[in-house]
Amino acid sequence: MSIKDQINSTFGKYTKLIKTRMFGANNERLDFLMDSFYKLTPPQRNLFFAVGIAAVGILILSAFALYFAEVRSLESELSQSVSSLQELRKQKVLDAAEEKRFSRLVDTIRVKTRGLSFKPFFEKLTKEKGVTMKDLAEKDVDMDANNPLADSVREVRIELRVPQISIPRLLNFITEVEKSERYIRLQDVKITGQYGNKLYFDTTLMFRGYALKK
């Protein structure tokens, strides 16, 4: 027996079973319904047809309503999916742009801090500007873990003590430090006056610098 014949045989069995359940083994249920229908008066028959037509109409309308509701639901889901996909693509573009900016920043720090040692840098600059450096201390500072630079860059605090310096020379020295393009910036300054001397001051400068992690 071919597959087609097997399908037809199986389908025929189920069709016969459904027919038997609905109308009876010898169509006795159908005969009963027909007999009952013919026993109805004309007005009752008309009412029967009206109710039947109404029931069929309600079923058809319900089926259409359910169909259109499902269509609207699918359209809504499709619209949301398209919006989510567009937002995801937009976010990927933004992420890629931020990644490029971050890479350029790291590369810039790498170039501008290459071979930089803070103590020799300040020793050379103070000598060039005629500034006396009494003491210098360096300290690594933990960066915020949420800072994307934390994995690649370390922050260094440099404390520099400069005694007996005038305000104009101090400002000039700070300007030269920041103009060096070594990513060194003044973070804090403490100025202490000298007794009987209004032109010179003892100062403590706190700079912030960056260097790549090894």
- 73: exposed, middle or buried (Cβ count in 10 Å: 0-12, 13-18, 19+): exposed
pLDDT attached to residue 28: 62
Return the structure tokens found at 175.
Answer: 């300007």
Least confident of 34-38, 106-110, 159-163: 34-38
In this prediction the pTM is: 0.54
Cα 168 to Cα 199: distance, rounded to the nearest angstrom: 10
pLDDT at 190 over 70: yes
pLDDT at 203 over 90: yes
The verdict on domain 118-212 having CATH code 3.40.50.1820 is no
Average pLDDT of every residue of the chain? 79
